[in-house]
Structure 1
Amino acid sequence: MSTGFPKFVVSGNSYQKGVMYGEQAKDRIEKSVAFYNSTFKKRNISDEMLAKLVEKFRKIIEREYPEQYQQIKGIAEGSGIPVEQIIALNCRSEILQTARLMAPECTVFAAMPEATANGHAYCGQNWDWYPECAEFAIVLEAQNDDGPDCLIFVEAGMLCRNGMNSVGIGVCGNGLTAKGDAQQEGIPIPLVRRSILESKSYGYAVEILLCSQRASSANYILADKAGVAINFELTPNDFFQMYPENGILAHANHFIAGRGFVEDVFVKVFPDSVYRYLRAKEILNAAAPKITLDDIKAMFSDHFGYPRSICRHFEEKGGVGQYETVASIIMDLTAGILYVSNGPPCENEYHEYTFSKK
């Protein structure tokens, strides 16, 4: 059994939140920077190429998301790490994609009130990535004076991986790749997700998701405690939506709604996506309309297709087998509770996180 991830609370304006974040999570941010610098080098991304990519993204971030840019600058100030390194962290998916490294990052779900035993709305995901990332992942609570508070699971130094806000909006995301990705400028994923969580309503969140400029494909589940959830398969220039069936949504790492409209590259690297999606739906549908938290945990602990299962386990042979379920995240949007396991949920308990302000 593992311990939970540390939780840090930040407040103030964007820059002040960043400084507090950097000061509190300094040790973990340093580990995050070191890991991704090493990963960039292993993928033959030279220092010169990295500097050019970071500067390109810096201009986009400063222009399109100035408040988020102030927070990034604050993280750099608080941690004593150059701002370029913090930008690189927040653009790690986009940078690694230039080296054709695809990050699976997960099986996701949503269960709406009509499908659950307690009438609550849930969403969440298993985050599949390098196991070393558990050493620098955190839970971040961002308290906002002019918007909802946010409860976020994230790699230290980044603005968001997934999470929920105090008005009951939750966002989960996982990898998709289509032919033609990474051919144009776009907003880095963590900034889009953080902006979604700072939205006061579902309508604003959808606008941010669909109207932000995109460089690459990605999948999102956007859910609301009111009982609305939509899955969005995004490409740089289009999107395809999926709605719940019997109050349930699930997705993995291949195009479903967009199949036939795009050339799916990801599924050729992670073909296990097709049965992970099926298993998630089957397990949740079998428990509906009385899905419990334990049913969701059981779905995330499923070992069909082991080790490349929903609950993914490390393979010594390397390649795509280097990934495992680093954390399992379940959000009770109705109760405002975030449940997170540190490591594969089949062998690690979930720890509970809540908003400080009721």
Structure 2
Amino acid sequence: MTFPTFTSTQLDPRARGKELGTHRRKAIVANLAGYSDLFAVAGATPAQVRAWGERALDRSADWAPQLAEEIAGIAAGAGLEPWQVAVVNARTEILAAIDATGEGECSTSVVLPGPRTVQTWDWHDHLRDAPMLWELEPRPGHVVRTFTEAGALAKIGVNTAGLGIHFNILRHESDSAELGVPVHLIARRILEEAATVEEAIAVAMSAPVSASTVITAVTSDDAASIEISPAGVGVIPPEQGVLQHCNHFLAPGLAEGERHATDRPSTYDRLQHLRDRVEELSGDDHTARALAMLSHGPDAAPVCAHPDLTQPINQRWETVATIALDLPAGRLRVHQGGPCQVTEETWQVF
């Protein structure tokens, strides 16, 4: 089992978006429908969702006009309105606006130098077909490869400048319904523009946001977890070459406003699980690192999540992917599913 892939041939943002939208039309439309169902179950009306999508598009155009153009191109190719593709890109912001809650989410480990990285990516099981792997060239000679969702501009990824990012959602008391720049666009600009951790931090700090996320930026010998919230940006450096993050704030000034762990306290257990396995997570073997992540609830930390089908769709969580960055090669290693299913043969190199 592998995720679908797409390699863009266009350099112009609108043309690149239209090419992607045309080739991945069914998946993008299905992803929008899946999110529309999720928002409805969580309590949002279609009118609210449209208003949030339009505002996200406006804020994106102010902060990164070229990315707003790419969103418009995707919409044209997929037969959608630009605000609808903006909804897919702003799904984190819309969920924050609804104040959606539930158990689940991602765990990330980075060990320097190398780096040796791995993360689980958990999401709602009815959206398990949304992910794709996308290669694009935002400018000649600079290649970005990202694990993302159909219609979203980026998520976890690497670039050929030697930088990669991991991605975990957060919640903060400052999150609001006044939609700001989508955090997925911040990830994309970092992959497009940054070659150093400091440059990645500068991109994140420049974005006016309404929802929270942590982007862990990594190079061969440097890393930082960049905690983004409407209240500000916190930067967590490695300790003795180790940097691990789950779904709660670690920066002292931001941790006081923590919201995610109020509803999902397992984030603390998951982080402790990673800290207890630093030795196993420090090896060169990406399969061994993934297996070191393995832990199932309820008797242990639920790093590897499986959905409870008795729950409504907004409360069902699944580890959809396990991902390691290969920065020297500028590639991703992606396994479809959780650590409990990983073998050397199940990795998809992209």
How far apart, CA to CA, are the structure 1 residues paired with 2:41 and 2:255?
34
Deviations 1:277-319 (A, max 9, x none): 011122123564x453233111232336557511112123426
2:13 paired with 1:14: yes
Which of 180, 198, 222 is residue 217 of structure 2 equivalent to?
Answer: 222
Tell me, yes or no, if the aligned pair for 1:195 and 1:208 is still in contact at 8 Å: yes
Unaligned runs of 5+ residues in structure 1 are 114-119
How far apart, CA to CA, are the structure 2 residues paired with 1:147 and 1:101?
41
| Aligned equivalent of 1:298 | 291
How far apart, CA to CA, are the structure 2 residues paired with 1:308 and 1:29?
33
Question: Secondary structure of 2:226's match?
Answer: strand
Map residues 1-358 of structure 1 onto 2, 5 A cutoff: 3-11=1-9, 12-102=11-101, 104-113=104-113, 120-146=114-140, 148-182=142-176, 184-202=178-196, 203-225=198-220, 227-258=221-252, 262-286=256-280, 288=282, 290-303=283-296, 305=298, 309-318=302-311, 322-349=316-343, 350-354=346-350
Distance 1:84 1:340, change over 3 A: same
How far apart, CA to CA, are the structure 1 residues paired with 2:208 and 2:139?
27
Normalization by structure 1: what TM-score?
0.89
Shift in Å at residue 260 of structure 1? 7.6
Question: Secondary structure of 2:100's match?
Answer: coil
How far apart, CA to CA, are the structure 2 residues paired with 1:14 and 1:186?
21
Tell me, yes or no, if the aligned pair for 2:105 and 2:169 is still in contact at 8 Å: yes
Deviations 1:168-204 (A, max 9, x none): 2111121211212116552101111000000142133
Amino acid at match of 1:252: C
Distance 1:237 1:298, change over 3 A: same
Question: Secondary structure of 1:346's match?
Answer: helix
Tell me, yes or no, if the aligned pair for 1:89 and 1:158 is still in contact at 8 Å: yes
More moved, 325-334 vs 298-307: 298-307
Normalization by structure 2: what TM-score?
0.91
How far apart, CA to CA, are the structure 1 residues paired with 2:3 and 2:69?
26
How far apart, CA to CA, are the structure 2 residues paired with 1:287 and 1:307?
18
Shift in Å at residue 99 of structure 1? 1.3
Tell me, yes or no, if the aligned pair for 1:110 and 1:248 is still in contact at 8 Å: yes
Question: Secondary structure of 2:142's match?
Answer: coil
Unaligned runs of 5+ residues in structure 2 are none
How far apart, CA to CA, are the structure 2 residues paired with 1:102 and 1:321?
8
Shift in Å at residue 234 of structure 1? 2.5
How far apart, CA to CA, are the structure 1 residues paired with 2:66 and 2:141?
13
Distance 1:287 1:74, change over 3 A: closer
| Aligned equivalent of 1:116 | none
Amino acid at match of 1:60: R
How far apart, CA to CA, are the structure 2 residues paired with 1:38 and 1:183?
19
RMSD: 2.2
How far apart, CA to CA, are the structure 1 residues paired with 2:207 and 2:307?
35
Tell me, yes or no, if the aligned pair for 2:290 and 2:342 is still in contact at 8 Å: no
How far apart, CA to CA, are the structure 2 residues paired with 1:245 and 1:304?
28
Amino acid at match of 2:182: P
Shift in Å at residue 330 of structure 1? 0.9
Amino acid at match of 1:240: G
Amino acid at match of 1:313: H
Between the two proteins, the alignment pairs up a number of residues equal to: 344
More moved, 323-332 vs 240-249: 240-249
Tell me, yes or no, if the aligned pair for 1:248 and 1:281 is still in contact at 8 Å: no
Distance 1:4 1:287, change over 3 A: closer
Distance 1:40 1:262, change over 3 A: same
More moved, 68-77 vs 327-336: 327-336
Question: Secondary structure of 1:168's match?
Answer: coil
How far apart, CA to CA, are the structure 2 residues paired with 1:60 and 1:209?
15
Deviations 1:198-232 (A, max 9, x none): 0142133221012211212221211112x100112
Amino acid at match of 2:347: H
Tell me, yes or no, if the aligned pair for 1:175 and 1:219 is still in contact at 8 Å: yes
Amino acid at match of 1:299: A
